[in-house]
Amino acid sequence: MSTASEREVRYAIRDEAESTYRYLLIHDVGNSDVGGAANTAAYTSWTSEAPGVSALYNSIIYNVAGQGVQLVRDIVVANVTVYRSTGYGVMSYEANENNYSYTGRNVLALGNNTGRDGSARDIEPDVIANATHLATSDASAYGFAPLTGVAAATTFIATAAGAEDLHLLPTASVRASGADLSALFLDDVDGDCRGPSWDIGADQAAP
The model's pLDDT over 105-124, given as tens digits with 9 standing for 90+, comes to 999 999 998 766 667 789 98
pLDDT at 191: 95
pLDDT at 21: 85
Helix (H) or strand (E) holding 10: strand 10-15
Looking at the structure of the chain, the number of domains it has is 1
pLDDT at 34: 35
- Closest by Cα among 135, 164, 184 to 21: 184
pTM: 0.85
Q: Which residues of the chain have pLDDT under 50?
A: 1-10, 31-42, 95
User: Residue 206 domain-assigned?
Assistant: no
User: Residue 174 domain-assigned?
Assistant: no
Q: Which structural domain, as residue segments, surrounds residue 38?
A: 4-168
User: Residue 73 domain-assigned?
Assistant: yes
